[in-house]
Homo-oligomer: A and B are copies of this chain.
Amino acid sequence: MTVDRILDHADRWHGDREVISRSVEGPIVRTTWSRIHGRAKQVTHALKELGIQPGDRVATLGWNTARHIETWYGVMGMGAVCHTLNPRLHPDQIMWIASHAGDRVLFTDLTFVPMLLEHLHKAPCIERVVILSDEAHRPDGAGAEMFMYEDLIAGRPTDAAWGGFDENTACGLCYTSGTTGDPKGVLYSHRSNFLHTFMTLQTDVMGLSQRDTVLAVVPMFHANAWGLTFSAPAVGASFVLPGARMDGAAIHELLEKEKVTMSAAVPTVWQMLLQHMDATGDTLTHLRRVVIGGSAVPEAIVRAFHDRFGVDVVHAWGMTETSPLGTLGTPTASMDGMDFETRLPILLKQGRPPLGIDIKLVNDEDVALPRDGTTFGRLLVKGPTVVQSYFRGAAAAADGDGYFDTGDVATIDTHGFMQITDRAKDVIKSGGEWISSIDIENIAAGHPKAALAAVIGVYHPKWDERPLLLVKLKDGVTATKEEFLDFLAGKIAKWWTPDDVVFVDDIPLGATGKIDKKLLRQRFADYVLPTVHPYTPKEETVGEPEERIVTPPPPEKPKGGFWPFGKK
């Protein structure tokens, strides 16, 4: 079980199926799995000539294109490690990560050459740069020490020895972007990626078929494009790659022109596509199914796909540390009788684990919690595709049974659907019970006057912590605290009501577009709650627990680029 067998299989049994890329140079270009296979072998020969040995790290900093796939398999097939760098990070962070990984060769797209010319010296371990284009497109400033990909591989044999090593050999490396502390490298083995491929190919998971045409919008640098770069050749799906263009018009063109049946991307991409179609009146002829992950799916997206285009949305959750697939919101037989409105709140949850993954909720004492849809606890995940330790670093947090602590807080309902309610470090611990900061801020952000809302826990002498609501108002409007507290009333449990509302000029966002709660907590470290506050003490709810009102995510997410699959 080594991943080179996947491309071998595609070559032998699905050789003529097409792989279509929007090239970084511009035109849409077409190739096949068999041609990719032959060229990936040429990459292996080139790497050997550059002195790359099994176990060495070879980095890519590139968009989704056929050349990127060739590089990926050329590296992995020979037993080296393909390290996908995330170009959306700050150049200093990219160079820090490349240095930490000890990348020896870097394959990159034309797009990133100017950045590299300025910053490459900060990662002296990189001996060679290969630009994924041809001599005719050699960019200004790229000297002879930068190879052009087509020249590098031209004329080399299209066969080379692949595999033959232990399945636990490392083949891929991906760094989490690390909101707390330095980025951490997740090392994937051939075995874990092969098992992940099988796992995703289940009908109730990604369910790819040979007859599908799959558009992989999710980047290969985001946790292996959620496995699509393995699963599409594994079944011989036709594969469509957007290159550098992920705007609504470009995505729509590929969906229609290439008759795409299935796609996967973060919500932002689908928002851009839907906005494009709103503006142009375009429609979707072939698309049947989209998998959405990376952050919570807004209800408006699911509704638009369902009502206007007859496309099924499957909400997925995972992490770099879980290869990445964790759970999917594929409907169960128990939901068969439900109408769409009844199903919708369930479909908006993060879903259920497939064979190969198990999840559970625990409290602060590591006691397993019930799956009742309201009790929330720390989300733990386990399986042969879940990281056990980080590259060159500390062991991953795992309990005695091998469960990895995701750092998320979640509920699981009676249908088995998991819903992430908060980050563990952002949850507010009030009187020994937990309050979800995200639930409150999602509702508050829906207030017509709110531009952005955030909830953090602040010190309270009796309850340890109480929620504080921070609101950035839309330009030119004013509001009172009471307007927001009234807006929340009836939508959350009374004892969740924030003890105070503060209007702020700015709510800081992190690199991936999420609210930077760490910075907010620092800013409000000296904040003192009003002595008298309007919340109903928790004691009132003892006995029958008050029903927690489950609220869908807000219709609009903060902008700011792409999230990796799951949390950063």
Contact = CB atoms under 8 A, between A and B. Distances in A.
B355 A9 contact: yes
Contacts of A9: 355, 358
Nearest to A198: B198
Nearest to A336: B211
A124 interface: no
A333 B17 contact: yes
Contacts of A195: 1, 198
Contact of A332 (B204, B211, B416): B211
A551 interface: no
Contact of A355 (B6, B16, B384): B6
Contacts of A209: 203-204
Interface in A221-244: 234-236, 238
A238 B333 contact: yes
A12 B355 contact: no
A330 B210 contact: yes
Interface string A137-154: 000000000000000000
23 contacts: A1-B384, A6-B355, A8-B358, A9-B355, A9-B358, A13-B416, A16-B334, A195-B198, A198-B201, A198-B202, A198-B355, A201-B201, A202-B203, A203-B203, A203-B207, A203-B235, A204-B209, A210-B330, A210-B333, A211-B336, A236-B332, A236-B333, A238-B333
B355 A211 contact: no
A315 interface: no
Interface string A425-454: 000000000000000000000000000000
A85 to B, nearest CB: 28
A208 interface: yes
Interface string A332-362: 1110100000000000000011111010000
B235 A201 contact: no
Of A8, A17, A236, A333, most buried by chain B (CB within 10 Å of CB) is: A333
Interface in A191-217: 195, 197-199, 201-204, 207-211
Nearest to A230: B355
A163 to B, nearest CB: 12
Contacts of A356: 198
B355 A234 contact: yes
A353 B14 CA distance: 11
Contact of A202 (B235, B330, B334, B353): B235
* Copies of this chain held together in the complex: 2
A204 B237 CA distance: 11
Nearest to A371: B12
Q: How large is the interface on A (under 10, 10 to 19, 20 to 34, 35 or more residues)?
A: 35 or more
A259 to B, nearest CB: 11
Contacts of A358: 8-9, 12
Nearest to A335: B211
Given A355-B6, A355-B235, A202 B201 contact: yes
Contacts of A204: 209-210, 235
Given A198-B199, A198-B201, A238-B333, 5 more contacts: A17-B333, A198-B356, A210-B330, A236-B332, A236-B333
Interface of A is mostly: loop
Contacts of A203: 201-203, 207-209, 235
A286 B555 CA distance: 39
Nearest to A167: B384
Contacts of A234: 355
A258 B70 CA distance: 49
Interface in A477-526: none
Nearest to A207: B203
Contacts of A16: 334
Interface string A310-337: 0000000000000000000011111010
A44 B122 CA distance: 60
Contact of A211 (B17, B202, B236, B333): B333
A352 B416 CA distance: 36
B332 A210 contact: yes
A497 B201 CA distance: 47
A198 B356 CA distance: 9
A358 B12 CA distance: 9
Of A198, A203, A209, A354, most buried by chain B (CB within 10 Å of CB) is: A203
**Which 10 A-B residue pairs are closest in the complex by CB-CB distance?**
A198-B198, A234-B355, A201-B202, A211-B333, A203-B207, A203-B209, A203-B203, A204-B209, A13-B416, A204-B210
Given A209-B204, A211-B332, A355 B1 contact: no
Interface in A279-319: none
Contacts of A330: 210
Nearest to A331: B211
Contacts of A17: 333
Contacts of A332: 210-211, 236
